[in-house]
Amino acid sequence: MKAHFAGGCFWCVTPIYKMYGVDKVICGYSGGDEVNPTYEDVKAQKTGHRETIELVYDPEKVSYDKLLDIFFANVDPFDPEGQFIDKGFSYTLAIYYSTEEEKLRAQSRIHKLEEESGKKTYVAIEKFKSFYEAEEYHQDYYLKNPEAFEKEMIESGRRTK
């Protein structure tokens, strides 16, 4: 099965899913109408896409609800401008659903979070329409560039020293 989440910087959210049994995490772009967008255009807010990860998973090993748990544990759902130091539409949060069941689960999770926190969340729930794989150097960035990745995590505010 596949799931698609926009959680801000795709480099920053990739490794956590692999720790929880997701078979494959692919960095890419979703949400916009432009075909085959480039990183530079997405980052410059020119395409209407968000940085998105495609999760290929076995629901016998990890459930969709668990994927939602991981998503919400690793983002700031209360920031309407983006995530951590990454600002702009391409870094805003979205859950792209493929089935009505996924949509309902995402809506339920957001409703519960808003009730518990007393705050408005900024997580778009949109019907999945397309996913464009990002350029190769973005794939498994944390493995290819561990020092730069660690620096990004600290400078972004996602991780403390």
- Domains of the chain, first to last: 2-156 (3.30.1060.10)
> What is the reported pTM?
0.94
List beta partners, residue 6.
94
89-119 confidence digits (pLDDT tens): 999 999 999 999 999 999 999 999 999 999 9
CB atoms within 10 A of CB 17: 25
Burial label for 61, CB within 10 Å (0-12, 13-18, 19+), is: exposed
To the query of whether residue 12 is one of the catalytic residues in this protein, the response is no
CB 106 within 8 A of CB 69: no
Residue ranges of alpha helices (H) inside the chain are 10-19, 39-43, 64-73, 100-117, 141-144, 146-156
Burial label for 7, CB within 10 Å (0-12, 13-18, 19+), is: buried
Say yes or no to pLDDT of 161 above 70. Answer: no
pLDDT value of residue 25: 97
Burial label for 137, CB within 10 Å (0-12, 13-18, 19+), is: exposed
In angstroms, the CA 15 to CA 66 distance is 15
Locus of tokens 């350029």: 135
Nearest Cα neighbor of 125 from 1, 2, 4 is 4
49-104 confidence digits (pLDDT tens): 999 999 999 999 999 999 999 999 999 999 999 999 999 999 999 999 999 999 99
Active-site residue identified among 3, 6, 9, 25: 9
